[in-house]
Amino acid sequence: MTDEPRLRILSSRAAAPYLRAQLTRRGFLGVSVGAASAAALAACAPTGSSPELDGTVESALSIYTWADYEAPDVIQAFQDANGTTITLDSFNSNEEMIAKLAAAKGTAGYDIVVPTGPFIPGMVENGLLMKLDMDLIPNFANLDPQFASQVWDPDNEYSICKDWGTTGFVYDTTVITRDLATWDDFLDAAQNEASGKMSMLDDPAEITGPYFWSHGIDWNTTDEGELDAAENWAVEELAPHIAAFDSYPGGGGIPQSLYVLMQVWNGDARFGIMSSEEPDKWKWVLGSPATELWMDTYAIPTGAPHPNAAHAFINAVLDPDNSLLELDWNGYNTGVADIEQAAADEGLELLDMVFFTPEQVATMQTGVVTDAQQRIVDIYNKVKAAAGQ
Amino acid sequence: MNRRAPLLTRSPVDLVLTIIAIVVVAFLFVPIVVIVIHSFNAGRLLIAWQGFSFDPYVVMLQKPAIRSAVGVSLLTGVIAAVLATLAGTLAGIALARRPGRWAAWFLITLLLVSVTPEIVDAIALLPWLVTLGIDWQMPVFNNGIVRLVIGHSLFSIAIVSFIVRSRLVGIESQLEEASADLYATPARTFRRITLPLAMPAVLTGGLLSFTLSLDNTIVSSFVAVSGSTTWPVYIWGALRGGLKPEVAAVSTVMFVLTLLVLALVALVLRRSGDSAASIARTLAAG
Amino acid sequence: MRARPGFLLALPAWLWLVVFFVVPVLQVVWFSFGRKPGIFGTHDNSVLTLDRYAEALDPTFGTVFLNTLWIGVAGTALCALIGIPTAYWMAVKAKPQWRGLLIALVMIPYWTNFLVRTIGWQVVLAPEGWLSTALGALGILDGPLEVLNTRGAVLFGVVYNYLPLMILPAFVAFDRVDPTLREASRDLGAGRWRTLFRVTLPLAAPGLFAAVILVFIPLMGDYITPSVLGGAAGSMVAQLVAVQFQAGQNWALGSAIAVILILAIVATAALGYALFRLVALPFAAARRVKLGAP
């Protein structure tokens, strides 16, 4: 039946994009249709090209993003203000989105895509993204500099923060009555009170992440010894206690009390707790001593048919009022300066799960794709195999 | 003409069977009941009940992305089902009635289609469709619905072929032969005998094809183009921001419409089922 | 018979599958003889090697394949155990005019999205869900219901989602058994069970076999259904394929695992078929029963 890419989704550093070979006609077709003659192919050079960037907003805009990830009011306001019809399309994982852009060679027809940070270097290297024209995005000045220049795109040439989040855990205080504060506590509770009733995020890097974060090791390490130790920790100590791999426990695990301990992203945890019948029984803990910072970004794919509308839309979401609407909708920090005060004035709940102190942010590490990716995927497979026993 | 047992049955074994069947059908509907109730949820998340409200139905109408996704899924489902049913029925009849040396190869192809993990289909189809549509300049393959239909039809063709084949195989082809002996043309024999005989298999195969298409996610996600996001792709993508009650509202509306449409289909099914059975019986009895 | 070769009737389906399945999938299979080039590449066939197959056959594959096989066999058996009697009742016992409605009733739930159905079950089966509350109120259960994320929940999710693939083909199979044959058997003095085993089941056998195949084969290549309610216990080989194609961005290895998985499933199905023939042999005589008089 339908399968699906379903639960494995988001987040950092899961792998890299594609194939330069896919992008050049010769390379790709060499694989795909060996028999075709080069002459026949030369006649039909592919690739779409974008119209000129002159600030004239087009009448259509196609946004390719996670479903229901843009605030409807912002979409509506933009359509009304510019007479632009917005088409929203959904993907289930960064890899799918990139596969689509790579295969289409600039003809995918999307104007804005929303990749997660670590995927950007590969997309850039493969020519999938267009350089942004900052003259058309004056509201970029509203973005908190802290969330502007990220390791995957230091000068914001290709991408701008849409929202960012971090990883921690939530536990049921009626079952785990002691205080948990760190990833070490997390593991200890997993091995004791929460054994067989705990969930991990369904993402390779998130499985090994807590080991590195709790041991003061850079989670982007490629050191064999450190990876071996992480594997041993994940397979031997953690895996036997895992009940499920669930990337979105907030959408079910927390409100339905499916688990007593969950590794979870902050925005998802917040909505889960807000929707719970007994919100007081759940406690959110930011991963410590270190944890992750992931970021979803706006970018414009090469060959976008409506680049002016794309720039105008990105500019519009960086407006503080729109940004607040986005934050309320998604539950994630948009990185726009002074939004914390605006959100508090608006009376939004549980804001300590959206905004973090500079000290906390300093403990958050961004992920990058490294040569260790294959190893991390192997560890993930071993953990899944061991947890299934 | 009905010589079968009535619904209310006579023996204990029949009674047990009836109870099993009723329990099974009821079991199938349990989650649907939950969803219908949760479609009136005032809360932010579908799964967490926070009071009664009609809001999800209002919100549902305000989101064009939902309307578009459901529309794309229904359209694709119908086209894919019709296509798979046509191709699969012909193939199934050929396999049952005129298997030659080719049949083994064809069966292997069908088996491979059923056994290949969907992600492999998806990874394979995407660049191939782009090659056809862009490099070889056959723009029909750049159409989202066409791409989805192609992706959804693969497994469905195999299913229809298997069901139709198993319906006909082993039932001797005497009916067809008798018809031919009575000077019916092959086309007439096909239309009047073979097809009615296969009809229950054809219709159930078509229904299954439609159902599978409606739920297809991986291939859909890979091959879709701008404007052709399907309903399952929308739902799986929406997990990131939390599934909202309007998803249940859409499901409920579809469910209610389904009840209406399927009442119609059931009528058609019953008729063709009866006619197939009665033709077979009449001829068989001689 | 005078007719055209059957080949022509099968041609549209075959051509379609060759163009949109065989050709593109062979391309992906070809990747399995290559390697992953660097961190931003997915496949490269400039050097041909069988190394990916060696990598694919690591102990993890074995462990997960055993789990997959267990889920595949147990899930298919349970589907058959529940689905075949239901289909038999629908096709044989229920009034003919009810049958269309019954088919519809079996299909309707599956027109609601998979994920949405799953959420429906979670609300029922959760530790503090409907069933837990009901059983608690009746005094049957003390404390929360702990069924989700267990092996039982794996099978539950599989049975629920694959049942129509068992019931519908089985219904078609029973439906084709002409009632006059059963009556003839009874008239000739055969008992109820003898009629079932000597007439009904042998005549329905090809369809029942198709039903079992239609559940077992796709189930072996599935990785979502077993895990949605069953959690970590529902770990499947197809997940290893998917993760290499997606998170691993290693199409070469993903393709090699897929090829091995496909071969393993086909081998298992062939073994099952051989066993089936062995069991079905005693009924072979009954198979020769002809349809009607002429």
Burial group, residue A79, by CB count within 10 angstroms (0-12, 13-18, 19+): middle
Domain assignment of residue A41, yes or no? no
Beta carbons within 10 angstroms of residue A149's beta carbon: 12
Specify if A120 maps to a domain: yes
| Nearest-CB residue to A256 (from C129, C222, C235) | C129
Q: Which CATH number fits the domain that encloses residue B83?
A: 1.10.3720.10
Closest-CA distance of chain B to residue A101, Å: 10
Residue whose pair of structure tokens reads 């970590």 in the numeric block: C232
Residue B85 lies inside a defined structural domain of this protein = yes
CA distance C3 to C14: 19
Q: Most A CBs within 10 Å: which of B118, B239, B243, B246, as the mutation test of the A interface? A: B239
* 3-state SS, residue A276: coil
CB–CB of A153/A332 below 8 Å?
no
Q: Do C116 and B235 touch (CB under 8 A)?
A: yes
Q: What is the CATH number of the domain that holds A91?
A: 3.40.190.10
What domains lie within chain C, and their CATH numbers?
A: 43-287 (1.10.3720.10)
Shared-domain flag, residues A178 and A241: yes
In chain B, residues with a C-beta closer than 8 Å to the C-beta of C23 are 128
pLDDT digits (tens, 9 = 90+) for C139-159: 888 888 889 999 999 999 999
**Does residue A14 fall inside a structural domain?**
no
Q: What is the ipTM of this complex?
A: 0.89
Residue A29 and residue C27 in contact, taking contact as beta carbons nearer than 8 Å: no
CA distance A75 to A84: 10
Give the pair of three-digit tokens for residue C240.
């290893």
Reference C87, options B259, B88, B200, B168; nearest CA is B200
Domain assignment of residue A4, yes or no: no
- The model's confidence at residue A4, banded by pLDDT at 50, 70 and 90, is very low
For residue B228, CA distances in Å to A47, B65, B246 come to: 20, 10, 20
State the pTM of this model: 0.88
Task: For residues A142 and A232, state if they share a domain.
Answer: no
Q: Are A160 and A176 within one domain?
A: no
Q: Which of A31, A68, A78, A95 to mutate to test the interface with B (most CBs of B within 10 A)?
A: A68
Would you call A31 and C30 a contact, using CB atoms and an 8 Å cutoff?
yes
Quick one: pLDDT at residue A34? 32
Q: Are residues A265 and A220 in the same domain?
A: yes
Same domain, A231 and A373: yes
**Site from A31, A91, A198, A275 to mutate, C interface, most C CB atoms within 10 angstroms:** A31
Asked if A222 and A332 sit in the same domain, the reply is no
Domain presence at residue A40: no
Q: DSSP code of B131?
A: I
| A257/C64 Cβ within 8 A | no
Instruction: Say if residue A245 is in the same domain as residue A380.
Output: yes
The residue segments making up the domain with residue B227 are 64-285
Write down the residue that tokens 């974060």 correspond to: A213
Mean pLDDT of A350-361: 94
A183 and A78, same structural domain? no
Asked if residue B14 belongs to a domain, the reply is no
Looking from the CA of B129 toward its CB, the CA atoms found within 13 Å total 32
Q: Name the residue among C90, C116, C258 with its Cβ closest to that of B21.
A: C90
B30 to chain A, closest Cα gap in Å: 17
Looking at the structure of chain B, the number of domains it has is 1
Residues from chain B contacting residue A104 (CB–CB below 8 Å): 130, 134
Domain range for A371 = 165-293+363-387
Whether residue C164 lies within 8 A of chain B, CB to CB, comes out as yes
Beta strand pairing call for A60-65 and A85-90: parallel
Nearest of A346, C229, A99, C173 to residue B124 by alpha carbon: A99
What are the Cα distances from residue B37, in Å, to B33, B41, C14, C120?
Answer: 6, 7, 45, 10
Q: Do both A257 and A370 map to the same domain?
A: yes
Task: Determine, yes or no, domain membership for A147.
Answer: yes
Is A90 close to B69, i.e. CB distance below 8 A?
A: yes
Radius of gyration (Cα) for chain B, nearest Å?
23
> A313 and A275: one domain?
no
Q: Which residues contact B278 (CB under 8 A, 6 or more apart)?
A: B1
Q: Quick check: is A13 in a domain?
A: no
Number of folded domains that form chain A: 2
Residue-wise pLDDT tens for chain B (286 aa)?
344 444 444 678 888 889 989 999 999 999 999 999 999 999 888 988 889 999 999 999 988 899 999 999 999 999 999 999 999 999 999 999 888 888 999 999 998 998 888 889 999 999 999 999 988 999 999 999 999 999 999 999 999 999 999 898 867 667 777 777 787 787 888 888 888 888 989 999 999 999 999 999 989 999 999 999 999 999 988 887 788 999 999 999 999 988 887 677 666 655 665 544 544 443 333 3
Q: pLDDT tens across C163-173, in order?
A: 999 999 999 99
Distance separating alpha carbons of residues C72 and C57, to the nearest angstrom = 20
Residue A282, strand partner residues: A172
Q: Residue B5 falls within a domain, yes or no?
A: no
Handedness of CA C123, C128, C131, C137 (dihedral sign): negative
Examine residue A2 and state whether it is found in any structural domain, yes or no. no
Cα gap B237→A69, rounded to integer Å: 9
- Say if strands A159-172 and A242-245 run parallel, antiparallel, or are unpaired: unpaired
User: Are A171 and A289 part of one and the same domain?
Assistant: yes
How much is the pLDDT for C121? 94
Helices (H), chain B: 12-38, 55-62, 64-97, 101-115, 118-130, 144-168, 174-181, 186-189, 195-215, 218-223, 231-238, 245-285
